[in-house]
Amino acid sequence: MELVPVTVGLASRAWDQQHIDLASAADLVGGATTSGFTAAVAGPAARFIGDWERFTDALGTRSEGQADGLREVIRTYLDTEGVVASRFLLQAYVEERR
């Protein structure tokens, strides 16, 4: 059985934070005002920010996926019989905090 250190839990929290940060970055991109451009540029600019909002959001989703994956590793580890020493510490990271 492979040992899962508490740092895995800490990393899961950090990935959650990246997810939040990327979601706000996606909002920033999506909220960028394109009305200042000339008519010839405004349309492509609007399409650009729409696409990039999705790209950024997708990156955030991948971050969330990493956090979820690490939590799954912790859960599986804790379900294994015989894990005692770090159970208390790791238990705190099983659930997503926010």
Partner 1 sequence: MNDRVVIPANPPEAPELDVEPETIRGFARSLRSASAQIDDLGTFVGGSARIGDWQGSDAAAYHQDIAPIGHRADAMSLALRSVHQQADDHADEMDALVEERTDLEQRRGHAMQWISGLWQRSRDLGEDEVPALEADAARCQTACDTLADDVAGWLRRVRASERRMLQTFSRVATVEQVEKKYGGVPDPADEPLSRMPRGGMPEEVRAWWDGLTRDEQLAIISASPGSIGNLDGVPAWARGEANETSLTRDVAAWEMLEFNGSITDDERGWLENARSAQDALADTRSRVDPVTGEPLVSQLYLYDPAAFDGDGRVAVSVGDLDSAQNVSVSVPGLTTEMTSIGGNATNVRDLYEASRSMHPDQTTATLAWIGYDAPSGLDSGRVGFEGAATEGGSRLADTLDGLRASRDDPAHLTVIGHSYGSTTMGHGLTDHDVDVDEAVAIGSPGLGANAADVGDLDVPDGHFFVGRNSDDPVADLGDKGWVNKGDALGAGLGRDPAEDDFGGRRFQAEDVARGGPPDWWVDPTPGVPDTIVWEHSNSLDMHTGYYDPDTESLWNMSQVVTGHTGDEDLMRADHVHDPWYDGPRDPEADADIERPSTRQRVP
Q: Does 83 bind partner 1 (CB under 8 A)?
A: no
Q: What is the DSSP string of 16-29?
A: HHHHHHHHHHHHHH
Taking Cα atoms as reference points, which of 29, 10, 93, 23 lies closest to residue 61? Answer: 23
Nearest distance from residue 82's CB to partner 1, in Å?
16
Q: Assess 90 for contact with partner 1 (CB under 8 A).
A: no
Interaction mask 6-35, partner 1, x per CB under 8 A: -xx--x--xx--x-xxxxxxxxxx-xxxxx
Q: Which residues contact 50 (CB under 8 A, 6 or more apart)?
A: 30
Where do we find the tokens 């960028």? 32
Binding site for partner 1 (CB under 8 A): 2-5, 7-8, 11, 14-15, 18, 20-29, 31-41, 44-45, 47-48, 51-52, 55-56, 59, 62-63, 66, 69-70, 73, 98
